[in-house]
């Protein structure tokens, strides 16, 4: 056991911490007697925690079955919201007035600390955001005078509100890898359209660039790869703004803000996305 700990890389500790937090959420769900779907919800977060804690030591087949089991829980509609011991509305309003804009300090700390660690150390941005999250949480507890236990209840409330879309980024990354192996990027040549299908500009960018951008534009026509990369990625983000597949950006905010229109975020972003897309096409046509 100690040998495994010594072999762990800094990022492994971040995954371990995330797994432990998810495990705590799972236990809270199991113990929530007012939760209609406490067994399914608890099992979902338990399986997710296992993938973070033991994923590197499990076979690809077992990790795949974990994902299938989680998908099955969602399919039979056993993932839901529970009871989170929230404070009364009046108390929240009083605290909002008392704390004021200082409440945004923890959020700012996440960005600032992540940048400092990612830019000035060899730990990298992912490790940096893990460290920043711990510091920001401590700052939030100090500012709000809240309890550590309530922090976990609020964390579970947020992760339950996000629901199954919390794992969508990993699923889309895996899907992008499979699409790349299958050569799908050679068939679908539109960066925006492919991003709308994938819901992930990074995965779509890798496939379209390797199949279209590099061989056709860089190698065949001598185009500047840096310029192509920048324009292609920005064009991909235009697709991200217009698709529900980009759940982290377009569906999760709807759930957290409890909006009536589930496509409200997309409708608000659509005009800007189309304008940006036209500008990117013009840039690619006249300058590449």
pLDDT confidence tier of residue 203, bands split at 50, 70 and 90: low
- C-alpha closest to that of 18 among 203, 166, 172: 166
Assess if residue 126 is contained within a domain.
Answer: yes
Same domain, yes or no, for 248 and 176?
A: yes
Same domain, yes or no, for 71 and 95?
A: no
Assess if residue 156 is contained within a domain.
Answer: no
Residue 46: what pLDDT?
96
Residue 8: what pLDDT?
78
Residue 197: what pLDDT?
63
Mean pLDDT of 149-175: 80
Could you give the number of structural domains in the chain?
3
Assess if residue 152 is contained within a domain.
Answer: no
Same domain, yes or no, for 189 and 140?
A: no
Assess if residue 84 is contained within a domain.
Answer: no
Same domain, yes or no, for 107 and 25?
A: no
| pLDDT greater than 80 at residue 177 | no
Same domain, yes or no, for 189 and 280?
A: yes
In the block, which residue shows the tokens 């992930």?
Answer: 200
Same domain, yes or no, for 171 and 280?
A: yes
How does pLDDT run across 87-120, given as a tens digit for each residue?
788 888 888 889 999 989 999 999 999 999 988 9
Residue 148: what pLDDT?
85
Same domain, yes or no, for 259 and 170?
A: yes
Same domain, yes or no, for 193 and 266?
A: yes
Same domain, yes or no, for 171 and 137?
A: no
Give kind and range of the element (H or E) at residue 193: helix 191-198
Mean pLDDT of 43-63: 89
- C-alpha closest to that of 32 among 77, 72, 80: 80
Point out the domain boundary residue: 75, 105, 131.
75
Residue 212: what pLDDT?
67
Instruction: Select the more confidently predicted residue: 175 or 109.
Output: 109
Assess if residue 155 is contained within a domain.
Answer: no
Cβ neighbors of 164 (< 8 A, separation 6 or more) are 44, 70, 74, 79
Same domain, yes or no, for 58 and 171?
A: no
Instruction: Select the more confidently predicted residue: 223 or 44.
Output: 44
Residue 194: what pLDDT?
65
Assess if residue 160 is contained within a domain.
Answer: no
Mean pLDDT of 199-226: 68
> Model pTM?
0.71
Half-sphere CA count of 240, side-chain side, radius 13 A: 18
How does pLDDT run across 247-286, given as a tens digit for each residue?
667 777 777 777 888 888 888 888 998 998 889 888 887 7
Mean pLDDT of 61-66: 85
pLDDT confidence tier of residue 167, bands split at 50, 70 and 90: confident
How does pLDDT run across 7-51, given as a tens digit for each residue?
778 888 999 999 999 999 999 999 998 899 999 999 999 999 999
Assess if residue 154 is contained within a domain.
Answer: no
For residue 223, the SS3 value is coil
Q: What is the domain extent for residue 103?
A: 89-146
Assess if residue 20 is contained within a domain.
Answer: yes
Same domain, yes or no, for 249 and 274?
A: yes
Same domain, yes or no, for 224 and 272?
A: yes
* CA atoms of 74 and 44, how far apart (whole Å): 8
| pLDDT greater than 80 at residue 66 | yes
How does pLDDT run across 128-156, given as a tens digit for each residue?
999 999 999 999 999 998 888 888 988 99
């Amino acid at each position: 056991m100690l040998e495994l700990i010594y072999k762990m890389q800094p990022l492994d500790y971040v995954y371990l911490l995330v797994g432990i937090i998810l495990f705590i959420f799972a236990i809270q769900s199991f113990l929530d007697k007012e939760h209609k779907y406490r067994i399914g919800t608890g099992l979902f977060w338990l399986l997710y925690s296992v993938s973070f804690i033991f994923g590197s030591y499990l076979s690809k087949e077992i990790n795949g079955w974990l994902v299938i089991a989680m998908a099955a829980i969602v399919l039979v509609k056993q993932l839901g919201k529970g009871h989170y011991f929230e404070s009364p509305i009046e108390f929240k309003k009083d605290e909002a007035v008392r704390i004021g804009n200082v409440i945004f300090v923890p959020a700012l700390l996440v960005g600032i600390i992540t940048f400092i660690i990612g830019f000035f150390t060899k730990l990298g941005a992912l490790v940096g955001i893990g460290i920043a999250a711990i510091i920001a949480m401590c700052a939030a507890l100090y500012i709000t005078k809240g309890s550590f236990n309530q922090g976990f209840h609020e964390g579970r409330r947020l992760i339950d509100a996000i629901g199954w879309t919390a794992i969508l980024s990993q699923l889309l990354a895996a899907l992008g890898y499979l699409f790349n192996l299958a050569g799908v990027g050679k068939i679908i040549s539109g960066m925006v359209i492919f991003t709308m299908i994938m819901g992930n500009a990074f995965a779509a960018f890798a496939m379209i660039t390797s199949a279209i951008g590099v061989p056709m534009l860089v190698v065949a026509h001598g185009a500047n790869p840096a310029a192509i990369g920048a324009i292609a990625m920005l064009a991909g983000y235009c697709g991200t703004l217009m698709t529900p597949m980009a759940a982290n950006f377009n569906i999760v905010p709807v759930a957290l803000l409890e909006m009536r229109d589930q496509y409200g975020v997309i409708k608000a972003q659509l005009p800007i996305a189309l304008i940006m897309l036209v500008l990117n096409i013009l840039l690619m046509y006249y300058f590449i």
